[in-house]
């Protein structure tokens, strides 16, 4: 039986991935901070997943969960570091300093903590796939979203470094950068979201990329084209256009 470990599994993309993989008969390990949401989801899935209510910022708790899952089911075939938060931030606001720290700790260090718990066992068996869920927001800085954009850019580069490090170990690293996906995270946005797609449709595409061990992909592809264009737009033009865009709400 295939084994997959997913963080941030209680809602949004993580929940949809859990439901998708459970429908494929996968043995899941699910992590999320909200124990009530997590247990409620587990009650609806078959085979019943192992659940670990914890914060991905807690490296020791993640290590303990990884050991428990591995002892019970074996080393997972796929580990998906999906846990993440998005907050509107302004550097001049004193209250946002702790928000910057929280966003980086969850979006970057949470991913590092997740992978740390499984890299050595995967190296020993010369097999496994690590999946980092980043965002197209990591391609360029979004006004009002400095913490989120910077954290996702860091996640992209971290996954790239890890991919090269583990290339000779039989371990694949897949980076997925979603565009706008219909989830509770995007529901708070008050601006038009181009190429918005349903979360269940997005997850099917995620699964294809994971199965193919695609090193880097943007989903949907149309957002990938737009994001790549933005990457090469000169700063003077990018600044002029995006300085007028609505800010992400704080």
First-to-final CA distance of the chain: 43
Residues contacting 149, CB < 8 A, separation 6+: 137, 138, 140, 141, 142
Nearest to 227 by CA among 170, 173, 179, 164: 179
Q: Both tokens of residue 30?
A: 């699910």
Report the distance separating Cα 6 and Cα 94, nearest Å: 34
User: Alpha carbon 195 to chain centroid distance?
Assistant: 19
| Pairing label, strands 50-53, 216-219 | unpaired
- The percent helix, strand, coil of the chain (3-state, each to 5) is 50, 15, 30
Report the distance separating Cα 185 and Cα 180, nearest Å: 10
148 is catalytic: yes
Report the distance separating Cα 23 and Cα 162, nearest Å: 30
Residues contacting 6, CB < 8 A, separation 6+: 14, 17, 18, 21, 28, 29, 30, 31, 79, 80, 82
Catalytic-labelled residue, pool 21, 148, 158, 180: 148
The neighbouring-strand residues paired with 130 are: 79, 173
Contact at 8 Å (CB) between 57 and 106? Answer: yes
Enumerate the active-site residues. 148
């Amino acid at each position: 039986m295939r084994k997959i470990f997913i963080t941030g599994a209680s809602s949004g993309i993580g929940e949809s991935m859990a439901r998708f993989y459970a429908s494929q008969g996968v043995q899941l390990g699910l992590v999320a901070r909200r124990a009530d949401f997590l247990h409620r989801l587990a009650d609806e899935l078959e085979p019943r997943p192992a659940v670990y209510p914890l914060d991905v910022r807690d490296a020791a708790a993640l290590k303990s969960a990884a050991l428990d899952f591995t002892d019970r089911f074996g080393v997972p075939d796929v580990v998906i570091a999906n846990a993440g938060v998005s907050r509107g931030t302004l550097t001049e606001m004193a209250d946002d300093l702790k928000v910057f720290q929280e966003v980086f700790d969850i979006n970057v260090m949470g991913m590092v903590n997740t992978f740390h718990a499984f890299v050595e066992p995967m190296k020993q068996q010369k097999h496994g796939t690590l999946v980092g869920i980043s965002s197209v927001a990591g391609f360029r800085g979004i006004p009002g979203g400095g913490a989120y954009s910077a954290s996702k850019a860091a996640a992209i580069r971290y996954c790239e470094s890890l991919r090269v490090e583990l290339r000779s170990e039989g371990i694949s690293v897949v980076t997925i950068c979603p565009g706008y996906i219909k989830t509770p995270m995007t529901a708070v946005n008050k601006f038009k979201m181009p190429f918005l797609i349903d979360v269940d449709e997005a997850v099917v595409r995620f699964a294809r990329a994971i199965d193919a061990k695609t090193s880097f992909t943007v989903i949907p592809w149309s957002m990938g084209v737009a994001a790549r264009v933005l990457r090469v737009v000169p700063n003077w033009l990018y600044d002029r256009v995006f300085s007028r865009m609505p800010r992400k709400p704080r």
